Amino acid sequence: MLDRGSPATVLAVLAIAMITFDLPRLATPRSMELDAVALRAFVIRVCHAIPLNGEVSVLLTGDAAIRRLNRQFRHKDKATDVLSFPALAGEGAAAVAGDLAVSVDTAARYARRFGHSLQLEVKILLLHGLLHLAGYDHEADQGEMAAREEALRRRFRLPRTLTGDAAKGRSR
């Protein structure tokens, strides 16, 4: 748990997110609508709220690249919306929370489907991925992750588009 009074904790949280655009692999021109500075600020706010401490790297890429990652690391040969890679335990692990990969192509389809911006949809996917980095697992828990995600969506004013039964439409 974060000790919010510790100066070292504050510094670690302030330097928490790096957003990388994988431009050659992004099929959607809508990816240019994304504001990396705002997404980084969102990731930091969510990390404070969860709480999740350590560095988070975010790769914004396309369906083909995320499919390769999904096949390589999860043995599922299909594109997905967001992948989470928690840091391995060991030396230096406390400084790194993990990595996220988001398919902007899939996020753009979800955004069109639900009638909101790509930026908003990427935030929804980042929230979901950050919860996985914090140890939540909707495939194994008794609804804990869904409840926490719902509470955080309310806190950050994110729509409820793919929660509960609606989440079955996700490609995960």
Domain ranges of the chain: 7-161
Residue 148 CB partners (closer than 8 Å, separation 6+): 50, 131, 136
Report strand pairing: 17-21 vs 55-61. Answer: parallel
Does domain 7-161 fall under CATH 3.40.390.30? My reply is yes
pLDDT in tens, the chain (172 residues): 333 343 333 333 333 567 777 765 665 565 667 888 899 999 999 999 999 988 999 999 999 999 999 999 999 999 999 999 998 876 555 688 999 999 999 999 999 999 999 999 999 999 999 999 999 999 888 999 999 999 999 999 999 875 433 443 443 3
pTM of structure: 0.81
Q: Which residue(s) pair with 101 in the sheet?
A: 59, 83
